[in-house]
Structure 1
């Protein structure tokens, strides 16, 4: 998913957390950006929230409408309420005796693996040198004559397939290493405080009949306090997710 984070907006409102709000606002902007620049890899996806108690209907409705409002001009489509019968048409496995209705809102769905490949191919097309299976061993620094400070001007890299090492020099170095962000930052400053908390999420791939082809399901409050979703993906259904702190590894495994 590419989303602003309905739950983050809830936390921002309940805790009056301006940083959470700014994060949601920025994420919604990035959602719109991805949908615009990569329409062949991204698409709006309606997501249904089942409602099991009558008092939850106005509560979630207000929250989702605020989500639409925060998105502003980047709102994909307006959210709406579904009756119990219509909700069961989309997801017949819901608890029929307790269900009172549902709310549908829109977020984005995105093929991140293909997007990574598209970025690399586009960069190569415009003259960039691209390389896979490369590891940063250390950062190369050079003293700035104006400030007298050491500035990063490249990296010592290692081909993990052959073991060969070589230097790559550049005027600007961007640290876009995901969960490895802090390890690269510490190459620049060993006393740098950690800013990234790695987490492990497990998804289960299920047969496609567990969800309609054009709608997902989100249950924001399961019996064990987690969020669970069912999303259509590549003619299958993805269910999840767990979200637990973990150690950084190049080869994550389900737990």
Structure 2
């Protein structure tokens, strides 16, 4: 009888001891935003907050790590019993964080394209532990750097300068460029790997290729007909951009004293769509 009683007591004690770690996790939860979107060069905040049933909770350990890298076991942010180790570019979202602060969010101070992927946060407290996985997607903001107003003289060349703004550490591959006037007539179009243009319009750089960020339009013999609003549309492997610029044209002394017999843009466009279309050879970069 005593033996049975001892056996029962041992079983009860064992069940209590084994249940403590599992029960403790129920008192701690990690609430995170599942998906995050960011841009190259900006800060990224991976939000995670500890929720505990007891307000008097102390955090004893935190590990933020990437799940999609070879070094996924390495903590980008590692807090352990008062000691903190940070990988450059990663830190606590709150600069004055302490072990009573339940905001364990991770801040990326300068997001790079290679930072995209899944991240895991593991938190230990005196009340239990919890973990969660979040994902970060990273894109690039594509911008065109152009002036709003350009001025040309009849019979002269004029350059509508537009440069794709470079992004640090990211290669931009141009898939398509289209220059139009007044929203309907296409003057110059590159659509990988082909380029076409109507007479009098070309890329500013003769040897332009699809990794050249200078997509400026050159008018080789400006006429009064060329005056108006121009639109540049850009498509890259990282995103798109569109911008409008205005060109004003004044007549030269010779043009003022003679009638302008230059063909209209519409007529030049019609010629380009027929047998007289101008096709440019582009050196592709792979």
Same fold (TM over 0.5): no
TM-score between both structures, scaled by the size of structure 2: 0.19
- Structure that is richer in helix per residue: 1
Kindly indicate which of the two structures has a greater share of residues assigned to strand: 2
Q: Which structure's CA Rg is the greater one?
A: 2
TM-score using structure 1 length:
0.21
